[in-house]
Structure 1
Amino acid sequence: MSQNGFKDLTDTESLSSVDLTAIRRRIADLEKLENEQQRTQKVQKALYRIAEASISSTGIEELFVTLHRIVSELMYARNFYISFYDADHERISWPYFVDEFDRAPGPRELKKGLTEYVLFSGKSILVSNEGYQAMVIKGRIEAILEAPEYWLGVPLKDQAKAFGVLAVQSYNKNIGYTEEDKELLTFVSHHIAVALLRKQAEEALQESRVKLEHLSSQMDQFSRAAMSIMFINDQQIIFDKISSAIVEYSDYGRVIISMFKNTYPYREILGFGGVDEETVDTLRKVEMSKEWYNDVLIKGERIGPLSYYIPHTMKYILNQRATVYGEGAGTGNEDAWHPEDNLFVIMNNKKGELIGVISVDDSKSGSRPTEETVRPLEIFSGLISQIILLNKEEEERQKLEAQLIQAHKMESIGILAGGIAHDFNNILSIILGNAEMAMEDTPNWNPVHENIEEIRTATLRARDIVTRLLSFSRESELEKQ
């Protein structure tokens, strides 16, 4: 009994009357409730920070780092990655990857991995090393060299369709994950997916704006270049300026402008840029017909109305003696420009027939050609086509003028010949008449008779020539009429 008259709870008699089990259960329930409240507060705080990060982060890379930090406050996330699925090319990439042992993998084609398992099942999965080995034995996934002790992956979804995977893993047997962690990460992943999609949309919009501004500037520069050549008469200077403008303002560092012709080697190089003279001189000697180009273009990938892309995987269809390649190796990224890629922009006449080709390569941006990047080239293609056609029309005009001048000359000669022939015919008639009279007055045995006969014969031949001249003169008169 205590001094205040109450029973002391430490007293053995008092303790025996208290249900210690109930007290312990109550304490445990309170602790659990407190833990759940703390966990709920953590989750709410995490969700708020995810939403805030999707707005405040300057780029998706910064968002990745922030998301990693947020997940680390909820569970063990020393090894953490986010992967995206490219449905168009059926490839997976890891834009964010942090791991104790492995380096960030490059984009690759689909295979039977845990990432693909989550991606296509659309469900979260938690596996231990034993569970992982069991999945390998059953053929659900393929084995890897460094298998984790615990792996937890959740799908990142756009509505009902997964576009990526978020995963955490542990190589320590003493650090694992629970079903609660799985439920928590699944719940948080919905908000992470929304944040990622929002940031991707923002960056895509910004990229589109930058591209539009660049294209607008590029078009303005090309327009200025086109205006600068309008009053130049020297064709070679025109094509040199066009080649320089393409190299300076377009996405491509090398260009060769060719026009087809009917004689060997069936093409003429009109202009070039970014290529040395020696290489161009070699190319000038290689046979490259319009028919060959038509066959190649049909097999290529059409980018714009006039543009055809030949990726390095199809370089075997090209004439290697007539192809200029860049230096270095490709990145392995299908969206990147490979040094052995080629792009052809065709030039047509008014009938839509192929008359020439602009060959470009060496992308400055390192990207595959798009409709936007080839548009300025197609504009120049139209300009060059007009120049070629105008030159041909000018050649035809000059040819017709020469023919007309020649016809006028022949007409003048005919008129002159007619006048001369008429006068000369009168003279010949007098000579012939007198020769015949002299022959009648001269005996055959007289040597003079033979001389007069020769005069008569020569006069008859001269009269035949005059007759032909008169005939030519009459034809000229008829043509004139």
Structure 2
Amino acid sequence: MSARGLPRVGSGAHRSSMAQTTPSEVTGASSGAPVAVLVIDGNEEHQILSVAALTRRKWIVRTAASRRQGLQLALAYYFDAIVIASKLRDGSGIELLRALAGRLPGTPVIFVVPPDGEEAALQAMESGAQSYIVKTPRYNELLPAIVWEHVEEARNRKRLIETEQVRAQVVTERKTVEERLSQSQARLRMVLEQAPLLLWSTDQDLRVTSAMGAGLQGLELPQGQERGLTLYEYFNVRDDDMEPIAAHRRALLGESVATQIEWHGRSYDVHIEPLRSGDGGILGTIGVALDVSERTRTEESLRRSDVRFQLLGRATNDVVWDWDFQTDGMWINENLAAAFGYRAEDVEPTGAWWEEHLHPDDRGRIAEGIQGLIQSGGSAWSAEYRFRRKDGAYATVVDRGYVFHDPSGHPVRMIGSTMDVTRQRKAEAIQSAVYKISEAANSAKHLQELYRQIHKVIGGLMPATNFYIALYEDRTKTLSFPYFVDEAEAPPPPQELGRGLTEYVLRTGRPLLASPQVFEDLTRTGEVELVGPPSVDWVGAPLASQGKAIGVIVVQSYKEGVRFVEEDKAVLNFVSEQVAMAIERKRTHESFLQTSSELEAIFRAVPDLYFRLSADGTILGYYAGRYADLYVPPESFIGRRIHEVLPKDVGDPFARAMRKVLETNGLVTMEYSLEVPSGRKEFEARILPLINDQVVLVVRDITERKAAESALKASTERLLESERLATLGQLAGFIAHELNTPFTNISLLTDAVARRVQDGSVTEKLEKIHEERRRAAEIIRELVGLSRSRPVTVDVDLRSIVERAVDEVRRHRKTGVAFEVGLGEVTVPVRADPLQLQEVVMNLLRNAIDATNRGAVRVRLEQRPGFHAIVVSDTGTGMTPEVLSHAFDPFFTTKVRRQGLGIGLPLSKYIVANHGGTIEVTSEPGKGSTFTVLLPRGDRSHEDPDRG
């Protein structure tokens, strides 16, 4: 066997980190042998915790973080145990287990799993692990204990194998001796048949008078000297007290003597009788000697083998036994007292006594197993069963035995050892209970089912017929009993805190085993008072979450035959931590489901979009009542950054707004427009901070609100403009009415003078007067247009209106300026005043022609969402932003005096507004202007233009 912690082969073994512990300081828990453990864990923090827990026992600990390094160390060095975590840096612990399978049969492997690692634990056990441990808060306490248990078991198994080998050797030697004895007996029979015994007789002087038998040949006496010599001469002694002289002297005194002598290096069994005469007088002695040298050596060998076997029995903590099938006798070593409490006088060393102490439910199974092994001719046997202790309790044991057969193949005896694994099985049961409770928290559909599962798990660890869970509500300062199963009492209602045992545990935060004596002491000191039926034993443990007591878990008994011990209290207290975690987790989960249900109902009722984003803008989740409002499908934006999904002009402002939210931890609101599958829409986004550097976006469709606001604004503007123009029109109409008569008289007078005067200079001046009169008439006509009331609407083709306007102004076009018309071939029906709309188009065309010296003037009809559009554009001088801001102001003009009054565009705007439409204008100095008249389509064209 290689030394612990030293390489298994050569000097080329890989090095790894080792805890700072010298070999001289390393001791086992009981045997004094050094313990070497290999810890393989990819989590550095967990690895450090494991090393700290193991080195507290002054064990040698080597570590590895990867599967490759762990495999190399495990194969290169000798270790008493190997601890493997489920996650390694370059793979999983399961893969490493499979790689080690069958390669280290004598080394126990303990697999470490997280609290939710049931599947990993099962895989580990199937892949070769001897045990597993869950990473609970008591991991550092449990790990050394579990490792030591398996190290001890491996060492004991090794000792047992060595013991069995020695015992087998002893049995083999005994068989050899027995075979030799058999041969000796055969030879003895032959000797008896041929008188081979050494027979002699002496006279009273101890002179040999006769000697015969094959035994004489071994004395190497000279031929003929067998008789005549005295015994003093035979044995070369002179002392009468020396054997065999003294034996013959006693025979001369009439005593039958049996003795053993050593002579010539051999052992003899000697029997001497007095040789009597016919009258009874003693004449001498007669003796017979049997050479027993071989038998003596055989018996000494057997004695030494028995001593060796008993010493080996003392070297192990197990109960070692030797069962003789022929006599049913059973030898049991002294460990029986330490293991099960039986003293030597309590034991009847038979197989029947042992069988009687098996648990009744196990007795038949064990008997059938041994009988089947014997009948099949097998040798190795092992079983796990329950054995009754001296105090009546049952211990769980693992028993291993080996059947020995005689040369003819018949079973003659069975040698084995019994190991008490009660504590180990208890620890495994507790560990399994913790795991089951954790699983129940995940699998239970509701709290009541979880409570039932907890009750069932606790019942597997101790008697739990009477079991309840009490929970404390801090808000109401009351104690409720959501789960209560009891033989003697009905479930109590919620109640204020009192002085019962439950409140005592809740108040102290410590577990309690209340036997009748303990309850009496607590009652006498005023700590508690009797609540409910009196119990024989009461065990309670606090349920704590985040350092705060949330309730109590209780088992109790009303029968003297069902009592609890300190171990039950410790077990209940141990699992109470997992119970509290499970209850809190389930309560939180149900609260979460309730909140989620309420939020989902709210989400369904509110047509907003919700998005959850990380600090870098990655979209983590969403909720959408209507998928048509999403810019792209969910699979196209989940996991991507928002500025990568949205157009740059929208995504970048979002990124800036998110940074502001994370910096200020406040609310940021922004508006934007986006083309979604259902059309272009306006949205308002509210960005709020969440925990863990996340934000939530609440996006609302404000398209209709924006449209309503725009409509309201346009309607208000139209109303104001209408009122302003109406007032102006009334004033203009009054002025036009007052000026018409003087202008008419001036026109009549100038015509009369022109007919009578032949002077050219006078005629020229009269012509100028006439021209000014016509210009004044034109101004009056425009003023009258302002004063005109509602349009006279009819169903008409918009194309024909524009065509007539084009025909009217075509004669005014300039040389070098193209006139481009695009009206399409399809009738464009509208309900409008054709004369007013024609006036609008003519005003726009005349202005375009006046502003353009080279290039083109274009007019076209377009269809836009909800509107017909008349677009008039030019490549003229364009307008500055200042001029553009006053374009529709009455009497504002950039034309030279006498070329414009500045009421054409205001008049056009007024007319279009009365038709429910708008005029839009864009212009850039030096590049031209574009005027767009938008008239509503469909039913809207039939509405009263003054509405809205």
> Larger radius of gyration, structure 1 or 2?
2
TM-score by length of 2: 0.22
- Which has more helix, going by share of residues? 1
TM-score by length of 1: 0.41
- Which has more strand, going by share of residues? 2
